[in-house]
Structure 1
Amino acid sequence: MADILTSVFRTFMSQTDVNKDVTVVPHSDSSVSSSVLLPGDSSVSSSVLLLGDSSISRSLLLLSAVMAASELGVRVVFFTQTQIQSLPVSLQKCVPSPESLKKIKFSYPRTLGDLLQQVAGLHESQNTSPTPPSLIIVDRLEGFLGGNHSEDQTCAAHLSALLCDTSSFLTQILKQRSPSSAPCRLIASFRSDVDSEHAGGESSATDPILDVLDRYFQMRCTLDRDRSYEAAAAGLKELWKVYLSATGITEDACTKEREDRPAAAPKEWQLSISPDGSMEFKMA
């Protein structure tokens, strides 16, 4: 899943960085090469937890969904409690085709029970035929939890286990139908109640629910507001630091992934958001 996120970053890179990286497709084209997405690479982490600001997280989730549907041509299931009113501004400037948008199924569960039932329903034959989803997205996990930390830890573990099991189940079906298929990716966003300062993507305070989620998600993508002098000098633009870090996978697995992939993606990015809401990424 981190490959799709980093492809989003590369697609909406600043023109300065595009000139440094000849493999990046310009923003105006909005297409992504298969060499960037690595769709058949089983070593790519297949689950990512997006941590930070809810509105920015939702925009990144939508960008990921549209990119997977339009560039990879795969089915996407997008779970969220609130209706999607409009696409992010960055997408409005390069509107995807209606046919590709039809590959995204939006579901609106209101409660944790609704979400569990709908995720479990992805195992049923009518949802896996003719083509099962290749990307599962859950927007704002915290909205499905009740506020009682002890109970929420149990609920978070139950939901995460079901999501990972469903992703694994759909991966098996995809592989049966086409051995070269990529695994079914999973990406979810979460806004922690714990106010923390991030250093390289790591939190300085502990959130017990986040600790539970990290056991199930292989990677974490952390959004951290940049309040440095450079950010202040940027004027009206908001600047954010974006960190990619391993969580639920072992050190040996991380080492193997680095060895298997000679050109690893950058682990830190800078995101600038203009007053109109458009996003632009730079490699840090």
Structure 2
Amino acid sequence: MTDILTLVFRTFMSQTDVRKDLHVAPPPPTTCSTLLVGDNNISRSVLLLAAVTAASEMDIKVVFFTQTQIQSLPVALQKCVPSLSPESLKKIQFSYPRTVEELLQQVASLHESTNTSPTPPSLIIVDRLEGYLCGTGGGSHSGFHPGEQSCAAHLSALLCDSAAFLTQILRQRTSSSGPCRVIASFQSEVETGHTAEEASATEPILDVLDRYFPVRCTLDRDRSYEATAAGLQEVWHLYLSGTGTTEASSAKDCEDTTGVAQEWQLLISPDGLMEFKSV
């Protein structure tokens, strides 16, 4: 779902970016999911920004699944959101399933909380899918075999089904509610710079994930001389692609509005401040 990511990019837009007319795309009538593909550390920062932005700016409940304990917000996030209120953080529920079996069980039980909670989650985030699909060893996942591809399909389908169920509950309680979104990250072994089609062909697990995540946000580090000369610690390119972005753009063609940017830059300064810039 590009609406939350676009809101993140716009909220933390570089002050030098003059394109202030960018808007957040309204959610389509059905649920949609986004896959972040690239460096784990950057992906996690973007996921945390999405969680915080959704909770604070959109006032929605978030469930964040990850294998690694989050003791405190990263320095970069603290610099981006220095005045984050405790009430906003309370809208984010962090869960730490260690294995794919535990993750499947916890995702499957999301509907149980709707009986006791007045507000079901509107955003489900899964950090580092490859860590679950490769087992606790993590590291290289070049050994993916059909069984693990089947597991990826099972997990992705469950995430989408859970989001669809929660969307139905949300709209029953408030007709104006948007859909429940799913955002997950996956670190591919495919060298960055490849198109989504090339990466999927090289790494079959991505082909499986693309069936369930119609929007892909690919992270590609800029190592050019210009990026270094700018005095920044890191520069990353973020490319939005997939059938989900195509459908959103087609819907926008019927309206007198500015389209959603398909490429962004993430600028990370030496002190850890993160800013986004439309391309």
RMSD of aligned alpha carbons? 2.3
TM-superposed deviation, 1:49: 0.3
| 1:116 has 2:110 as partner | no
Amino acid of the structure 2 residue aligned with 1:4: I
Aligned residues: 267
TM-superposed deviation, 1:264: 1.7
Output the TM-score relative to the length of structure 2. 0.88
| 1:259 has 2:253 as partner | yes
Question: Of residues 122, 146, 150 in structure 2, which corresponds to 1:150?
Answer: 146
2:16 is matched with 16
**Cα distance between partner residues in 1 of 2:57 and 2:124:** 16
The SS at the match of 2:188 is coil
1:230 is matched with 226
| 1:163 has 2:159 as partner | yes
Check conservation: 1:75, 1:133, Cα contact below 8 A: yes
TM-superposed deviation, 1:186: 0.6
Query: Structure 2: any 5+ residue segments left out of the alignment?
Result: 135-140
Output the TM-score relative to the length of structure 1. 0.86
Amino acid of the structure 1 residue aligned with 2:258: A
Check conservation: 2:2, 2:245, Cα contact below 8 A: no
Using the aligned pairs only, state the percent identity. Answer: 66
| 1:98 has 2:93 as partner | no
Check conservation: 2:114, 2:120, Cα contact below 8 A: no
Check conservation: 1:246, 1:254, Cα contact below 8 A: no
The SS at the match of 2:63 is strand
Check conservation: 1:156, 1:212, Cα contact below 8 A: yes
Against the structure 1 CA distance between its residues 234 and 192, is the aligned structure 2 distance closer, same or farther, given a 3 Å change threshold?
same
78-87 or 89-98: bigger deviation: 89-98
TM-superposed deviation, 1:272: 1.3
1:76 is matched with 62
Can you list the C-alpha shifts for 1:133-156, whole angstroms capped at 9, x where unaligned? Answer: 000000000000134332211110
Report matched runs for 1:194-205 at 5 Å: 194-199=190-195, 203=198
Amino acid of the structure 2 residue aligned with 1:69: A
Report matched runs for 1:120-131 at 5 Å: 120-126=108-114, 129-131=117-119
Against the structure 1 CA distance between its residues 44 and 10, is the aligned structure 2 distance closer, same or farther, given a 3 Å change threshold?
farther
Higher relative contact order (CA 8 A, sep 6+): 2
